[in-house]
Structure 1
């Protein structure tokens, strides 16, 4: 028997001893647990109108897009979705990808070169980190939300630069100082790339996103990435920004050129979700109100929870083992919460990640707070 992979056994054992071993939890369609772990912020994944949009698209176009976007993978659905997304978010143009991850890889790589400086927030998502690593650019990591550090790094660079941040940070749920970051970029001639995955649908008027709320969505030096798999209850990602940037991505982004296009059913579901959000803009406010209610209840129970900027809340745990045990006890009591350990978070910062939804009731919030606090 081959022994070329024997080294994996030792790595797996090290992870088990460190409390970092992961096992996917298989979810049943009829699971009646209270979900505070998923990213279905607006409660649209099972919305009848969104499901009908997916089914209608699959019946008309089939189950797959059949090829890359530049060969056969672009349908009228993709074009409609790009136009609708750009209009909803206040951007000039948009380009749809197969996932938010591939959208971030595209933006970080296509907008940089060997002479570019990337300034990246220390708490950025793995997709942004990987995009920075794959780029040919010089990368400087700055402390979390530290605008002064961004100024300092940019002032020492003579050439093109790209500042990269999330709008609502995916683990802690706090927000980036977008206007101050944009001002820093303007002063130093840099571009600003913002991942609005957790802002679209939960922040800004009608849920149009954090860039729209900050008045930056149509700025010529700002590019936004987003995902369709959270607030819009579908799958896929997008890059939004100036028309010439989107044209450049179409010509150069490898995850656009060489990846199979987004499945038609996903595009159809996202289009239907945008219709729901336009017709029911109160969903965006509802998810924020529910997040605030969760925060207030947890804080009143003595738990150290940060006030959320969108739908995400974070509860520090003492260790990876404690985070796993805490999440398991919550699940035993019928409440599902996220459990984040290294490398998903930095060392010594394991935590529970909670998410609000627009369709959670007052009784749901009360029950969740009671369980989370009781099993702490």
Structure 2
């Protein structure tokens, strides 16, 4: 008996679900070179345009000169360098929490937090549309795992009635494929009434949301009492790499002692932490980036609705155009690419069957003229897909 990998791959191709990696031949930015072709890109999560910022680059270079390249070991052995510690302190201050803990990736941060907090005899309740890393964490924890209806506090309340042991409610802050916001005030109220903790992965909220870029928790005016576990990633609006968990002194010490993805992983390069300290400074001080981004979002929604495109309820830089059929979504993406514009088609299993879409993501680095170019291309290409 052998693994029939060929058949699995053939089935995925036939269903228009086969994925291929575009080869980026340039730095991140609105104008990129992909597979040798110059393109105007609307598919990066570099929401504030910091991934190729000259000051962030210089901070990385200086960090490498002072601290070398590799982390060398796990944080608990000899891999916890001065820049890592300084970044944790800065992130704690930024989020208004006593402590923050640095991770090498967002996937690891989510696995670490959930599996360290709940296990056999406990309960983890998750939004149906949560990111794959959160769902995997819930399943791997060994706790009783259940998913409530998307953004539905009543559905969560009914599941909380059946919860046993320590109960953790887990949600994205901004849902990465729909761009909508978690109804945190109501979810937190329901959870608090049952003594459950709330964990929010605000990977896509930090930077674009909140008066100071502090994300969805800042936007809703919630505190440590409401959201006990706050996760953020650094590879999106921060423009660098890695992730963090912010919370109480006891939470962070618990993760250091019990979170296997933290304990058994080499630390990120210290120079990356140096770069992130600079990008955090820019995120906080240059509010014009959020203001410009908000104007682009409003203009895109106005223009897309005028074309007759089906948008989703998103006030964020993530602006999905709902197509439905995977083949038609791929066709629209290809037509845009032929006009020099790159927008990724998102298909099942990343999104539910029948909800294939183009996921437009906007950045503060985009100009108004570049956005108009996207709208003009959509106006030209959409009838060909709509009427097919």
What is the TM-score normalised by the length of structure 1?
0.96
For the residues of structure 1 that align with 2:79 and 2:41, how far apart are their CA atoms?
A: 34
Picking from 3, 7, 29, the partner of 1:10 is 7
SS across alignment from 1:374: helix
Mapped pair 1:135 → 2:132: no
Q: Deviations over 1:165-191 (max 9, x none)?
A: 011100110001111111011100000
Mapped pair 1:100 → 2:103: no
Worse-matched range after superposition: 72-81 or 26-35: 26-35
Question: What's the counterpart of residue 299 of structure 2?
Answer: 293
For the residues of structure 2 that align with 1:222 and 1:340, how far apart are their CA atoms?
A: 32
SS across alignment from 1:201: coil
Query: Following TM superposition, by how much is the alpha carbon of 1:357 offset from its aligned partner in structure 2, in angstroms?
Result: 0.7
Question: What's the counterpart of residue 92 of structure 2?
Answer: 86
Picking from 9, 23, 37, the partner of 1:26 is 23
Mapped pair 1:186 → 2:192: yes
Worse-matched range after superposition: 21-30 or 282-291: 282-291
Question: What's the counterpart of residue 29 of structure 2?
Answer: none
**Where does 1:4-83 land on structure 2 (aligned, <5 Å)?**
4-5=2-3, 7-29=4-26, 31=33, 32-83=38-89
For the residues of structure 2 that align with 1:212 and 1:262, how far apart are their CA atoms?
A: 27
Question: What's the counterpart of residue 246 of structure 1?
Answer: 252
Question: What's the counterpart of residue 214 of structure 1?
Answer: 220
Question: What's the counterpart of residue 161 of structure 2?
Answer: 155
For the residues of structure 2 that align with 1:132 and 1:158, how far apart are their CA atoms?
A: 15
Contact map agreement 1:92 1:218 (CA 8 A) in 2? no
Mapped pair 1:336 → 2:339: no
Worse-matched range after superposition: 45-54 or 303-312: 303-312
Gap runs ≥5 in structure 2: 27-31, 383-388
Query: Following TM superposition, by how much is the alpha carbon of 1:307 offset from its aligned partner in structure 2, in angstroms?
Result: 4.0
For the residues of structure 2 that align with 1:316 and 1:22, how far apart are their CA atoms?
A: 19
What is the TM-score normalised by the length of structure 2?
0.93
Worse-matched range after superposition: 243-252 or 275-284: 275-284
Contact map agreement 2:312 2:322 (CA 8 A) in 1? no
Question: What's the counterpart of residue 386 of structure 2?
Answer: none
Q: Deviations over 1:46-79 (max 9, x none)?
A: 1111111111111111111011111122111111
For the residues of structure 1 that align with 2:223 and 2:240, how far apart are their CA atoms?
A: 23
For the residues of structure 2 that align with 1:146 and 1:179, how far apart are their CA atoms?
A: 12
Structural RMSD (CA): 1.4
Query: Following TM superposition, by how much is the alpha carbon of 1:356 offset from its aligned partner in structure 2, in angstroms?
Result: 1.1
Gap runs ≥5 in structure 1: none
Question: What's the counterpart of residue 356 of structure 1?
Answer: 362
For the residues of structure 1 that align with 2:142 and 2:261, how far apart are their CA atoms?
A: 16
Mapped pair 1:172 → 2:178: yes
Question: What's the counterpart of residue 327 of structure 1?
Answer: 333
For the residues of structure 1 that align with 2:271 and 2:375, how far apart are their CA atoms?
A: 36
Question: What's the counterpart of residue 279 of structure 1?
Answer: 285
Contact map agreement 2:122 2:164 (CA 8 A) in 1? no
For the residues of structure 1 that align with 2:266 and 2:379, how far apart are their CA atoms?
A: 45
Q: Deviations over 1:258-278 (max 9, x none)?
A: 011111222111111011122
Question: How many residues get paired?
Answer: 373
Contact map agreement 1:220 1:242 (CA 8 A) in 2? no
